[in-house]
Amino acid sequence: MSQTKFKASQASLGRGSTYAYKNSLKPASVIRWTLLFMGGILMIMPIIYLLSTSFKWPHEIYNLQIIPDEPTLDNYAYVLEDGRFFTWFGNSAIVAICTTVSSVIFDSLVGYTLCKFEFKGKTFVFIAILSTLMIPTEMLIIPWYTMAVDFGWINSYWGIMFPGMMTAFGTFLMKQFFESVPDEFLEAARIDGLNEFQIWWSVAMPLVTPALSALAIFIFLGNWTAFIWPLIVTNDPVLYTLPVGLTTFSVEQSVEWELIMTGAALATIPTLIVFLVFQRYIIRGVVMTGLKG
Amino acid sequence: MASVELKNLTKSFGKTEVLHGIDLVVKNGEFIVFVGPSGCGKSTTLRLLAGLEEATSGDILIGDQLVNNLEPKERNIAMVFQNYAIYPHMSVRKNIGFGLRTSKLSKADREKRIDEVAEILSMTELLERRPVQLSGGQRQRVAIGRAMVRDPSVFLFDEPLSNLDAQLRTQMRLEIKKLHQDVGTTIIFVTHDQVEAMTLADRIVIMKDGHIQQVGTPSEVYQHPKNIFVAQFIGAPSMNMLTGKQVKTGVQLDGGPLLKVLPTNKTQNSGNITIGIRPNALTLAKDGDDVLFEGKITIVEPLGAEALIYVDLGYANVIAHVPGYTPPKTGEMVKLTAPQQEIHFFDTESGLTLRQD
């Protein structure tokens, strides 16, 4: 009797494992993986072509083959030996770092205030900030430009940076994260004698480090790759940021795609480093944003 | 150490008044426990004392100083929160020393003070750990350490044991009591657990709906509850309550027999009487005893050397706390008795005791 049961259970185990194997190959799974694979290809192909073109001679760039017939490093040598590249790189770094630091500080200050303090007009202020998210950047360019002209900020770092010094998205993000900081932490610090600014800096900010890191990465990447506004607000090549500067390789008569692609490939290095170093924060930040939002 | 005085203290949130004129004097070095159900205003009172909320009216005095308009840091109080509020990004040492950041002590003196507090709380070997590496009880001790290190005039505890398991709660209760005996600082402790209140307090303040119901020592509030609420809130299981009407020869229970017991004093009452008898005052009647109740056991809860028996009297249910390793069994008929002095009488309409002390 017991032997029969044992055999039966063995048989069912065998069937179970066969089914488990079959499950991984069922049509829904195949479709899912195929779609993911195609999505992946769609994402990665432009980058592969960018890298491929950066190693090609000008006569090869309209050839769609990925591996060049005659690969060359001349484009890299040209771009790196051209002093303008490092100027633009430096400008982009200054703009991206300054806006990131400023956004992290001001977005979290405003987010913290909106989250943890009660004052008249709080809801109105929050809605007003949120509503700016609904206006496309392109629509804001004219008022920004008028402001920049009126204040004499055209052709200056400040002119490039001021629209990004504080963001509605960051404020909203930080407000949501500060909701997860228990009020008792702040009250304990208040009883211990810290002033409100010290409480924000020493107690609240360290508790939202993952959110701050995610915000810093988003802001850095956004400003590093920003193109339209820096293009409009600057006309002195010394102040060009990298994306704007790279367009100077395109002139009326011809477009030097291999140099643009080489510059773009070099420009991705800082973003890749930022991503590799902080990827766990990016993922956690995105996940948390999704949960909180 | 300092005394604390609350004078006609009220607090409203919008149009809702949650504290209705609290008057209380806490003596220097006293251990006072505020107890009451959720929403009774005990935590609000504590937060007003700490300066975390602003009183709508009334005065708060710490020592002889009116502190209504002082910031929390200027009140020389320390508070331990229910969720400990210890900072996860700091080591135990930094957490304990956090309150000294704004003090004028030198770094060496600060470190010395942290070490002293850690020694008192037996935490010296944990000083470099992060809160995440500590157990619930250890975290609670860090929170107490952070309060102690500033040597405040008054300690405020807001349900500090609620997040601990039963065993740890008992252990921490003893540690807090010992701490009070050692340092002698005035402690105001908030809890919803009447066992904590009874075991810790020099005096208990029982609150309900923003009013103080009674202030007294644990034995006073247990033996002489001022009203039905206090009688039922203090003591576990709750006091048995039976309603009836006062007649010449006793109390005619609603739907039940005439009990030949009467309030011993002449206090005026509405004639509607509630009789209260604590479960441990009810005993199984022996031959010759005056039988108070007779009924059928519906549930028996053995507690080891004693048991709780739930008895259906037909017109009401009562609980008796009976001693012995072999309690009566479910379904058995039992007769219960209680000494006259253990029977409490309340006016059903006002809820007030009919005992005159």
Q: Is B146's CB within 8 Å of A188's CB?
A: yes
Structure tokens at A145: 């430009």
Distance from CA of B89 to the nearest CA of A (A): 7
Q: Which residue of B has its CA nearest to A189?
A: B99
| Interhelix angle A257-292/A168-178, nearest 10 degrees | 30
- Residues in B closer than 8 angstroms to A118, CB to CB, are none
Q: Which of A185, A191, A193 sits opposite B87 (nearest CB)?
A: A185
The CATH classification number of B4-229 equals: 3.40.50.300
Query: How many beta-carbon pairs under 8 angstroms link A with B?
Result: 54
- In this structure, chain B runs to a length of 357
- Residues in B closer than 8 angstroms to A197, CB to CB, are none
- Residues in A closer than 8 angstroms to B78, CB to CB, are 191
Q: Which of B73, B90, B159, B190 to mutate to test the interface with A (most CBs of A within 10 A)?
A: B73
> What residues in chain B have their Cβ under 8 A from chain A's Cβ atoms?
50-52, 71-73, 77-79, 81-83, 85, 87-89, 98-99, 101-103, 146, 150
Chain region(s) in chain B for CATH 2.40.50.140: 240-347
Q: What pLDDT, on a 0 to 100 scale, did the predictor assign at position A4? A: 44
- Residues in B closer than 8 angstroms to A209, CB to CB, are 89
Q: A233: helix, coil or strand?
A: helix
What are the pLDDT digits (tens) for A117-156? 999 999 999 999 999 888 888 889 999 999 999 999 999 9
Provide CB contacts within 8 A for A61, sequence distance 6+: A53, A257, A258
Q: Is A192's CB within 8 Å of B89's CB?
A: no
H-run or E-run covering A248: none
Q: Which residue of A has its CA nearest to B146?
A: A192
Whether A32 has a pLDDT exceeding 60, the answer reads yes
Chain region(s) in chain B for CATH 3.40.50.300: 4-229
**Pairing mode, strands B65-66 and B57-62:** antiparallel
10 Å Cβ neighbour count for B38? 7
In this prediction, residue A92 has a pLDDT band, given cuts at 50, 70 and 90, of very high
Q: Is A184's CB within 8 Å of B72's CB?
A: no
Q: What pLDDT, on a 0 to 100 scale, did the predictor assign at position B155? A: 94
- What average pLDDT does range A201-208 have in this prediction? 92
| Domain positions in chain A | 94-292
Q: Is A194's CB within 8 Å of B101's CB?
A: yes
Structure tokens at B213: 């119901």
Q: B247: helix, coil or strand?
A: strand
A116 Cβ under 8 Å from any chain B Cβ: no
Cis peptide bond prior to B339, omega within 30° of 0: no
What are the pLDDT digits (tens) for B156-180? 999 988 888 888 888 888 988 988 9
- Residues in B closer than 8 angstroms to A206, CB to CB, are 87, 89
Distance from CA of A62 to the nearest CA of B (A): 55
Q: DSSP string covering B72-106, please?
A: GGGGTEEEE-TT----TTS-HHHHHHGGGTTS---
Q: B233: helix, coil or strand?
A: helix
Cα A211 from chain centre: 13
Q: Is B77's CB within 8 Å of A192's CB?
A: no
Structure tokens at B297: 């056991």
A184 Cβ under 8 Å from any chain B Cβ: yes
Q: Is B99's CB within 8 Å of A192's CB?
A: yes
A180 Cβ under 8 Å from any chain B Cβ: no
In CATH terms, the fold of domain B240-347 is OB fold (Dihydrolipoamide Acetyltransferase, E2P) (2.40.50)
Q: Is A192's CB within 8 Å of B51's CB?
A: no
Assess contact for B145 and B121: CB atoms under 8 A: yes
Rounded to whole angstroms, the Cα distance separating A77 from A94 reads 24
Q: In what order do the strands lie in the sheet with B57-62?
A: B16-26, B4-13, B57-62, B65-66
Q: Is A192's CB within 8 Å of B87's CB?
A: no
Q: Which of A117, A190, A191, A209 to mutate to test the interface with B (most CBs of B within 10 A)?
A: A191
What are the pLDDT digits (tens) for A215-250? 888 899 899 989 999 999 999 989 999 999 988 877
In this prediction, residue A196 has a pLDDT band, given cuts at 50, 70 and 90, of very high
ipTM (interface pTM): 0.81
Query: Between these two residues, A265 and A249, which has the higher pLDDT value?
Result: A265
Angle, CA of A173, A158 and A198, to the nearest 5°:
45
In this prediction, residue A21 has a pLDDT band, given cuts at 50, 70 and 90, of low
Rounded to whole angstroms, the Cα distance separating B337 from A194 reads 61
A118 Cβ under 8 Å from any chain B Cβ: no
Q: Is B99's CB within 8 Å of A193's CB?
A: yes
- What average pLDDT does range A186-199 have in this prediction? 92
Residue ranges in chain B whose pLDDT is less than 70: 265-268, 356-357
Distance from CA of B38 to the nearest CA of A (A): 18
Assess contact for A213 and A278: CB atoms under 8 A: yes
- Residues in B closer than 8 angstroms to A188, CB to CB, are 79, 81, 85, 146
φ/ψ (deg, to 5) at B321: -105, 100
Distance from CA of B224 to the nearest CA of A (A): 37
Whether A16 has a pLDDT exceeding 90, the answer reads no
Q: Residue ranges of the alpha helices (H) in chain B?
A: 42-50, 92-97, 107-120, 136-148, 166-183, 194-200, 218-223, 228-233
> Domain A94-292 classified CATH 1.10.3720.10?
yes
Q: Which residue of A has its CA nearest to B75?
A: A191
